[in-house]
A and B are shown apart, each in its own frame.
Chain A
């Protein structure tokens, strides 16, 4: 029996050693290809944290990513733009990447656009929300202290797994990495990803956005607003259009307005604005297509220009 134990322990150790090497080598290969992705979320993210040198930076979820077309904004504002929007991201994620823009070398951004959803402060919503967030930030926890702290706060077990295994942070990413190496270059235009056609329902739908507030998200939202306004950077907080029926102010919207009021930042709410609530402008019920995005971007650009001129923020003519 004793021999059996020794033999078992010995072979198990060999397997662990081989697995350790495979994990380190495999993790390094994944990290290399992940960081060098020419397109996709990772590429946009790398720009957002390593080199966010544009005049205006846009933050927000997929609704931001598919809405604010830098070409249109640049044309009307005469400023360089980068869209840091990311699929399924929320204010928790954006609060973590904001310091890269605020602590960059050179001048501060000339303006920041933050696109929020009617449930922005309710989003974290348990395991699923954390799983999505974890998949976004785990590859960066070794390099970015903000992300490591966030992971420690929100999903310490996932952080532990990412510390033990070098492959694990790239879980479920291999196909995306391959895809991002093979897609055409026009997929991502300074962070903006256009959507084509429409799959939206014939009529606006009724969505229930009214979930409970998550205090962690609320805290991060206030952090974001405070960090930007304390540096006197013009901040435009916008709820972009959706093809949905009118709905009463959600708990998240009420809390959002309360926080913004404390910092004298208005909320531009176009969620049910009838100018944009037309099926032909939507890819699906909550995302504008390229046609809707171009029209909305132009509208927002003009409004920002007016606002900046009025407040003498120095928009190029």
Chain B
């Protein structure tokens, strides 16, 4: 399994496996020494591990962002990553490994910007959760190097999560995993639904969204509103599809990974939204950053609000080295703080609305999430500004229907499919299609989804959005 994970990772950019190996070795020994030591030494080993992980992450993900920001603010020229000696070495090493091992990985052309090691943010956070849990005494240090390496590199979730916790996964590597029919079928159903979400829904919406998001500020208000509705659905389907496929693939092999999404588009508050969206990351920030900072109440309301905003800004930065992500995180932090502040009033309002409140709050949260999506997908703040300006000033112009004009109809159809499926899972869980007792209904479900894949799936080799993180 470890060898498969190595091969899987090296299929992207072979040389980056060395970075992964270095952090694995550091964290493996850090875990052992943390458990052996007491007092300050114990803390020191944890700090060494955290510095190593955050160091690699910062260098590859944030170096150019930092250099660019310094250059812009202070007009101080520091070499960009592509100009560093290390970059040219990485390119040469990568191409050498590629040619000698005859892998399917990519050659990096000289002088091109070096690419972020794939899944770096995910496996770095997973590695950090191990040393922190060992430090806290919740996890015994792993003695077997191969087992620890597998914990970090387990290939179904290596490049885009879920970001696992050692307590949930490591013990499973010691267990015997015989073939289990029910487990395999359940895993394959999840993979099938994940494929539909990715290929039929996310990639179909991407055709429309990419045309809009590539130049947000040039489109009319109706088009931008349409893109604000499709945008979060696309990101959700893209990322949750990867999680479903990862969890499904692991389940077929006999492993259980944590749930990463619980139908977040049906959230009735921002707090609930983040309890349903990318659960493995939000719970990581909650456990390892938010609570250690004092949480929301332990040090007073004001400090609680600051903690919340700070954590969301960091979460924004986790998604990418770009001021748009920082603004996106900041906005969601503010929205959560405001939601908490006005909760006494909104509770009364919700009671007043009665049974209609679920629909109204769900739609409201979805739309707010959609309107913040411009910050998530834009390349620069200028584009974000153009987007909000065009909506607020109601820039005239018709609704862009996509190219060909049937593109928007496909989008509406796939969104309807998603909402019917997720509504049923959320509010009518007793109704099952793929898990139905009647074999005819069950097989009809399989055939319908496979036919959808063949007829309206988008097979242009689109990458998963979260691979870039």
CB–CB A131/B460 < 8 A: yes
In the assembled complex, the Cα of A19 lies from the Cα of B447 at a distance in Å of 6
> What chain B residues lie within 8 Å of A185 (beta carbons)?
none
CB–CB B404/A170 < 8 A: no
B459 at the interface (CB under 8 A from A): yes
In the assembled complex, the Cα of A26 lies from the Cα of B454 at a distance in Å of 11
Chain A nearest Cβ from B20, distance in angstroms: 28
A22 at the interface (CB under 8 A from B): yes
Residue of B nearest to A3 (CB): B181
Majority-rule SS of B interface residues: helix
Query: In the complex, which residues 1-59 of chain A have their Cβ closer than 8 Å to any Cβ of chain B?
Result: 1, 3-5, 7-8, 11, 14-15, 18-19, 22-23, 26
A171 at the interface (CB under 8 A from B): yes
> What chain B residues lie within 8 Å of A4 (beta carbons)?
179-181, 184
CB–CB B457/A127 < 8 A: no
> What chain A residues lie within 8 Å of B335 (beta carbons)?
none
CB–CB A171/B455 < 8 A: yes
Which of A8, A23, A170, A176 has the largest count of B CB atoms less than 10 A from its CB? A8
Partner of A176, one of B180, B406, B451, B461: B406
> What chain A residues lie within 8 Å of B459 (beta carbons)?
161, 171
CB-CB under 8 A for A175 and B406, given A22-B451, A127-B460, A170-B455: yes
Interface flags for B182-212 (1: CB within 8 Å of A; 0: not) read 0011000000000000000000000000000
Which of B179, B446, B458, B461 has the largest count of A CB atoms less than 10 A from its CB? B179
Query: In the complex, which residues 49-103 of chain A have their Cβ closer than 8 Å to any Cβ of chain B?
Result: 87
In the assembled complex, the Cα of A131 lies from the Cα of B460 at a distance in Å of 7
> What chain B residues lie within 8 Å of A26 (beta carbons)?
451, 455
> What chain B residues lie within 8 Å of A167 (beta carbons)?
451, 454-455
Partner of A15, one of B443, B456, B458: B443
B76 at the interface (CB under 8 A from A): no
CB–CB B454/A175 < 8 A: no
Chain A nearest Cβ from B38, distance in angstroms: 47
In the assembled complex, the Cα of A177 lies from the Cα of B19 at a distance in Å of 51
Residue of B nearest to A30 (CB): B455
The total of chain A residues at the interface (CB under 8 A) is 29
CB–CB A172/B179 < 8 A: no
A254 at the interface (CB under 8 A from B): no
CB-CB under 8 A for A22 and B447, given A4-B181, A172-B410, A179-B406: yes
A147 at the interface (CB under 8 A from B): no
CB–CB B447/A5 < 8 A: no
The total of chain B residues at the interface (CB under 8 A) is 23
A207 at the interface (CB under 8 A from B): no
Residue of A nearest to B182 (CB): A4
A165 at the interface (CB under 8 A from B): yes
> What chain B residues lie within 8 Å of A175 (beta carbons)?
406, 409-410
In the assembled complex, the Cα of A171 lies from the Cα of B459 at a distance in Å of 9
B450 at the interface (CB under 8 A from A): yes
Chain A nearest Cβ from B223, distance in angstroms: 13
In the assembled complex, the Cα of A5 lies from the Cα of B181 at a distance in Å of 7
> What chain A residues lie within 8 Å of B447 (beta carbons)?
15, 18-19, 22
Chain A nearest Cβ from B454, distance in angstroms: 4
B178 at the interface (CB under 8 A from A): yes
CB-CB under 8 A for A8 and B406, given A1-B178, A23-B454, A131-B460: no
Chain B nearest Cβ from A179, distance in angstroms: 6
> What chain A residues lie within 8 Å of B184 (beta carbons)?
4, 8
CB–CB A171/B406 < 8 A: no
> What chain B residues lie within 8 Å of A176 (beta carbons)?
404, 406
CB–CB B181/A171 < 8 A: no
Which of A11, A167, A170, A172 has the largest count of B CB atoms less than 10 A from its CB? A172
Partner of A174, one of B181, B446, B455, B458: B455
> What chain B residues lie within 8 Å of A19 (beta carbons)?
446-447, 450
A311 at the interface (CB under 8 A from B): no
A192 at the interface (CB under 8 A from B): no
Which of B446, B455, B457, B460 has the largest count of A CB atoms less than 10 A from its CB? B455
> What chain B residues lie within 8 Å of A3 (beta carbons)?
181
Chain A nearest Cβ from B288, distance in angstroms: 40
In the assembled complex, the Cα of A46 lies from the Cα of B55 at a distance in Å of 61
| 8 tightest A-B CB contacts, nearest first | A4-B181, A175-B406, A167-B454, A1-B178, A131-B460, A168-B454, A1-B179, A4-B179
* 23 A-B residue pairs with CB within 8 Å: A4-B179, A4-B181, A8-B179, A8-B181, A8-B185, A11-B185, A15-B447, A22-B450, A22-B451, A23-B454, A26-B451, A26-B455, A127-B461, A131-B460, A165-B454, A167-B454, A172-B410, A172-B455, A172-B456, A172-B458, A174-B455, A175-B409, A179-B406
6 further contact pairs, Cβ within 8 A, besides A8-B179, A15-B446, A171-B457: A4-B184, A8-B184, A26-B451, A128-B460, A167-B454, A172-B455
